Amino acid sequence: MPIPKRNKSSKYFGILLSLSALAPIRIYASEFSFSGNTLPVLEELPEKSTGLDKIYVVYDIKNVVIHYASSNPSQVKISRYSNLGGGFAEPVNTEIENDDVIIRNPEGNMGYIIEDGNYRYYYWIVNYLPYRFDIKDVSVSPESDCDATYINVIGSGEAIHYFTINGQQRTLTREIEVEFTTQQWSEDSNDFQQVESVKYFESLTNPLRITPPVYCSTSFKLVGDKFLRQWNWLSQAESSVISPVAIQVMTEAVQDNDDDDSTDNSTSTGSNEISSGTDGLGGSAPANISFEAFTTEGVLHHEWQLTTDPNFDNIDYRFNQQSIDYTFTEEGTYYMRYVGSNSDGSCDAVGDVYTINIGASELKCPNAFTPDGDGVNDEWKVSYRSLLEFKCWIFDHFGHQVFYFDDPKQGWDGKKNGKTVRSGVYYYVIQAVGADGKKYKKSGDINILRHISGTSNSGATE
């Protein structure tokens, strides 16, 4: 069998194999390792702007030995710095064991600079024991107000600071949890719903400030910190149940419209109410509007305020209830809002201001219609706006009453006692009063026309 030729790459590969056999390659990580510690050393990755490569959190630095592996340990130089920054670093005494550079009796809460040939690394070591998180008691502070809930804490958990290579102070977050129940507005249910909430704090301050404030009865449970959590060694405490101080409200207004298709065409079969020409609430009187307030648990006093003053300096009516149905019967512009308050009146919450425009009255009467069942002009209807009183009589040419109605939304379908009257001229008399106080007395002709081919009026009656 012929011996296969080797290409250049296979030749170089053989050389590499020979070199590796003579001098085994060891890969060194540019980081510290630790011995003598009772709990795992935790690692944090700081922001790049700090200049630090890593932060190590050691539970107790006592009896801990730091190791740094290098391919050339004799050239490694290690120094440390405090809050003054790397420019004031001082050399650290080290030993060499095998390929490890050893630091015995290291000092915690210090920065360390490693110079390894052409490479330089920056670390900060936190000695956690002096900062150990320990909670004894939790209670709600009487300082709690309308904007925030304050929690008093008995225990330890001060801020853990470290310093960048430029000597700038930064804080290592402890992610202390405060667990509680509150209320939030739900668009799905259109009401306030209870939800479980968690707030995180970098460190313990007294008191802890929770915003937005808590809106329902709840207890507060403190759990921490994230370092003890990783060591499976939590410290926690829970307060008693407290009542809320802060409050929140949401409101809505719904107008009772019999027919949304407002029109000024009195001969249509749809709504015959003349549009007010303005958007929003109100329009033609009488306008029936329902106002509803949705509140958090702490609201105990309810008040709807009605006024013609947009600044609410002068309030015309006060309604001490959470919901109200109100009928606007007079022309003008009105303003309605809700104000809720807590038990002692220390906090109040104001809902949206609703503007209600009630237009001036108006009344128009048509003079003809075609009750032929084709769906067009089948009823005689007036066009109107803001009428509070209305009476209408319809007579034939002999002066006999054929129809009467007292609701301007209604109309006459051209029948008497259920039977269609003959085509011809009829007469109406109307008395009405508008929301603006205007009185109407109208009378006139009504012409009944029919255009049904192939049919007769033999069934019609006087």
Q: What does the pLDDT look like over 197-208, one tens digit per residue?
A: 999 999 999 899
Is pLDDT above 90 for 5?
A: no
Count the Cβ atoms, other than its own, within 10 Å of residue 352: 12
**What's the whole-number mean pLDDT along residues 368-373?**
90
**What's the whole-number mean pLDDT along residues 47-57?**
96
Least confident of 130-144, 159-173, 366-380, 401-415: 366-380
CA distances from 234 to 6, 42, 147, 223 (A): 64, 15, 31, 7
Q: At 424, list the tokens.
A: 């011809």
**What's the whole-number mean pLDDT along residues 339-364?**
94
**What's the whole-number mean pLDDT along residues 234-242?**
94
pTM comes to 0.73
Band (258; pLDDT cuts 50, 70, 90): low
Band (46; pLDDT cuts 50, 70, 90): very high
**What's the whole-number mean pLDDT along residues 274-291?**
80
**What's the whole-number mean pLDDT along residues 387-397?**
94
Q: From CA 303, how far away is CA 318, in angstroms rounded?
A: 6
Band (436; pLDDT cuts 50, 70, 90): confident
Count the Cβ atoms, other than its own, within 10 Å of residue 306: 20
How does DSSP classify residue 322?
A: S
Band (276; pLDDT cuts 50, 70, 90): low
Band (271; pLDDT cuts 50, 70, 90): low
Q: What is the pLDDT of residues 307-323, one digit of tens each?
A: 999 999 999 999 999 99
**What's the whole-number mean pLDDT along residues 378-384?**
92
8 A C-beta contact, residue 340 and residue 310: no
Which residues make Cβ contacts (< 8 Å) with residue 91, sequence separation at least 6? Answer: 77, 78, 79
CA distances from 370 to 201, 267, 394, 397, 458 (A): 77, 9, 16, 18, 17
Q: Report the Cα 447 to chain-centroid distance in Å.
A: 60
pLDDT at position 253: 96
Band (172; pLDDT cuts 50, 70, 90): very high
pLDDT at position 450: 74
What is the amino acid identity at position 451? Answer: H
**What's the whole-number mean pLDDT along residues 76-86?**
95
Band (256; pLDDT cuts 50, 70, 90): confident
Is pLDDT above 90 for 194?
A: yes
Higher pLDDT, 7 or 416: 416
The bridge status of strand 354-358 relative to strand 134-140 is unpaired
CA distances from 317 to 292, 303, 306 (A): 16, 10, 5
Is pLDDT above 70 for 40?
A: yes
Band (279; pLDDT cuts 50, 70, 90): low
Band (375; pLDDT cuts 50, 70, 90): confident
Q: Is 327 helix (H, G, I), strand (E, B) or coil?
A: strand
Length of the chain, please? 462
Q: At 382, list the tokens.
A: 């007036």
Count the Cβ atoms, other than its own, within 10 Å of residue 455: 9
Q: From CA 90, how far away is CA 79, in angstroms rounded?
A: 5
**What's the whole-number mean pLDDT along residues 110-131?**
95
The bridge status of strand 362-364 relative to strand 383-385 is antiparallel
Q: From CA 57, how far away is CA 174, in angstroms rounded?
A: 11
Is pLDDT above 60 for 29?
A: no
**What's the whole-number mean pLDDT along residues 370-396?**
91
**What's the whole-number mean pLDDT along residues 373-401?**
92
pLDDT at position 317: 96
Band (374; pLDDT cuts 50, 70, 90): confident
Q: From CA 223, how far away is CA 201, in angstroms rounded?
A: 11
Which residues make Cβ contacts (< 8 Å) with residue 405, sequence separation at least 6? Answer: 392, 411, 412
Listed residue (241, 158, 171, 254) closest to 204, CA to CA: 158
CA distances from 13 to 2, 6, 19, 27 (A): 22, 11, 10, 20
pLDDT at position 274: 64
How does DSSP classify residue 227?
A: H
pLDDT at position 16: 30
Higher pLDDT, 15 or 227: 227
pLDDT at position 153: 95
Q: From CA 297, how far away is CA 342, in angstroms rounded?
A: 9
pLDDT at position 25: 33
Sheet strand arrangement including 208-210 = 134-140, 149-156, 208-210
Higher pLDDT, 3 or 133: 133
Band (230; pLDDT cuts 50, 70, 90): very high
Average pLDDT of every residue of the chain: 87
Band (9; pLDDT cuts 50, 70, 90): very low
Is pLDDT above 90 for 114?
A: yes
Least confident of 20-24, 237-241, 249-253: 20-24
